[in-house]
């Protein structure tokens, strides 16, 4: 049962494929095959319906909401290859736009989602600008028409976690790191998440440099550079996480934190922070940009958490498990 998939440790994007099984075997490969795909983008109100409690295809397909008032309508689309197609915008019972549906011809689920995303998201951005109202896509539902194999992608709310308390008070230098880390956890935007966690790593690196210079001038001991630590070589040594998140660490196993930071300084940090025409940029209307940020975010979150712990330790601020009645 799809709804029984356990919630991830932190709120994050998840994707599953449902392959029907018939008497003569499975309908087709989970990756999909050449043919027609129906793609449904489920709209949501940021901060209200941004996350799903489970990957329930039927419930998501019947849902959707937004701050955009309107009725059912059809819109024309122009694909990058010059071909034209049509999408249907569906309103809910309250006459608010809820879903955008279209069909594409593709050789796999991945290609179908990319083609549909890159056609539909500029439309969503245009509607948001025209209405001056926030709107986001909270789930993407794909159905391979020939086999009825389905794929669901949505941000799933994280599991409840035990709280830790701070032993001592955070210093003015540490507080910005904690604040930006929290912003990264709170956000559902892969681009903003990646930028937040990168900023934490960047900030802690500068914090250590200043501490080292001050210690050198005063003749005190200089602590080790937190960015010289490494991601474990063995993925089993990583903290508990879902297997699809763990896979994101494969290219970075054994790398120093500083190497991870440098490897994405241009392709992620600068490309998100700037939209200079003619330069390499990351924008959410293109699925390849979104996916690049989804892939690196768990790694940056891990590094950011580790370097914050080091900074807190050097500032004598240590989190410890909460004790009932304490």
pLDDT digits (tens, 9 = 90+) for 33-53: 999 999 999 999 998 888 887
Per-residue pLDDT averaged across 117-138, rounded?
Answer: 96
Per-residue confidence (pLDDT) for residue 116, from 0 to 100: 96
Provide, rounded to the nearest whole percent, the portion of the chain with pLDDT above 90: 63
- What pLDDT, on a 0 to 100 scale, did the predictor assign at position 166? 61
pLDDT at 317 over 70: no
Per-residue pLDDT for 141 more than 90? Answer: yes
Residue 300 has what pLDDT?
98
CA distances from 220 to 121, 173, 211, 213, 216 (A): 55, 19, 10, 10, 6
The model's confidence at residue 213, banded by pLDDT at 50, 70 and 90, is: confident
d(CA 260, CA 263): 5
Q: Residue 231 — pLDDT band, cuts 50, 70, 90?
A: very high
What are the residue boundaries of the structural domains of the chain, listed by start? Answer: 2-156, 164-321
Position 80 scores a pLDDT of 61
Strand stretches in the chain, DSSP E = 12-18, 21-22, 25-26, 35-44, 73-78, 84-91, 97-106, 136-144, 149-156, 164-167, 318-321
State residue 168's pLDDT score: 55
| Tokens describing residue 9 | 């440790």
In contact, 315 and 178? CB cutoff 8 Å = no
Segment 171-193, tens digit of pLDDT: 888 999 999 999 999 999 999 99
pLDDT for res 316: 54
As a whole number, mean pLDDT of residues 209-226 equals: 81
Q: Say whether pLDDT at 326 is over 50.
A: no
Per the model's pLDDT, the better-predicted residue between 275 and 214 turns out to be 275
User: Given this model, what pLDDT does residue 3 score?
Assistant: 44
- Percent of the chain clearing pLDDT 70 (strictly above): 91
Give the C-alpha distances (Å, rounded to integers) separating 260 from 37, 163, 168.
37, 29, 31
- Over residues 251-286, the pLDDT tens digits come to 999 999 999 999 999 999 999 999 998 889 999 999
Residue 270: its pLDDT value, please?
A: 96
- The Cα–Cα gap between 122 and 285 comes to 6
pLDDT at 26: 66
Give 54-83 pLDDT, tens digit per residue: 788 898 999 999 999 999 999 998 766 666
- Does residue 324 carry a pLDDT above 50? no
- What confidence score (pLDDT) does residue 81 get? 62
Q: pTM higher than 0.95, yes or no? A: no
Give the model's confidence band at 322: pLDDT under 50 very low, under 70 low, under 90 confident, else very high. Answer: very low
**Orientation of helix 175-186 relative to helix 287-314, angle to 10°:** 150
**Considering Cα of 246, then 247, then 249, then 254, what sign does the dihedral take?**
positive
User: For the chain, what is the mean pLDDT?
Assistant: 89
Under 8 Å between Cβ of 103 and 45: no
């Amino acid at each position: 049962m799809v709804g029984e998939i356990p919630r991830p440790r932190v709120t994050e994007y998840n994707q599953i494929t449902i392959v029907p099984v018939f008497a003569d075997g499975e309908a087709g490969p989970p990756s999909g095959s050449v043919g027609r795909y129906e793609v449904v983008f489920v709209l949501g109100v940021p901060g209200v319906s941004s996350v799903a409690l489970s990957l329930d295809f039927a419930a998501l397909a019947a849902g959707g909401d937004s701050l955009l008032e309107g009725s059912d309508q059809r819109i024309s689309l122009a694909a990058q290859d010059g071909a034209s197609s049509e999408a249907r915008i569906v309103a809910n019972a309250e006459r608010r736009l809820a879903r955008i549906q279209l069909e594409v011809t593709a050789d796999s689920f991945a290609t179908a989602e990319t083609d549909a995303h890159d056609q539909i998201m500029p439309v969503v951005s245009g509607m948001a600008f025209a209405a001056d109202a926030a709107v986001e896509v909270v789930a993407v539902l794909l159905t391979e028409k020939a086999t009825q194999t389905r794929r669901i992608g949505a941000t799933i709310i994280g599991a409840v976690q035990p709280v830790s308390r701070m032993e001592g008070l955070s210093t003015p230098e540490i507080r910005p790191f904690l604040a930006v880390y929290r912003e990264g956890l709170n956000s559902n935007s892969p681009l903003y998440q990646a930028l937040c966690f990168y900023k934490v790593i960047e900030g802690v690196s500068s914090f250590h440099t200043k501490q080292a210079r001050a210690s050198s001038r005063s003749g005190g001991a200089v602590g080790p550079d937190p960015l010289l630590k490494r991601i474990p070589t063995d993925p089993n040594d990583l903290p508990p996480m879902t297997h699809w998140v763990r896979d994101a660490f494969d290219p970075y196993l054994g790398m120093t934190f500083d190497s991870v930071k440098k490897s994405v300084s241009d392709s992620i940090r600068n490309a998100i922070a700037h939209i200079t025409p003619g330069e390499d940029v990351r924008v959410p209307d293109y699925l390849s940009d979104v996916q690049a940020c989804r892939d690196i975010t768990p790694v940056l979150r891990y590094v950011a958490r580790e370097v914050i712990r080091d900074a807190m330790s050097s500032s004598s601020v240590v989190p410890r498990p909460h004790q009932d009645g304490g």
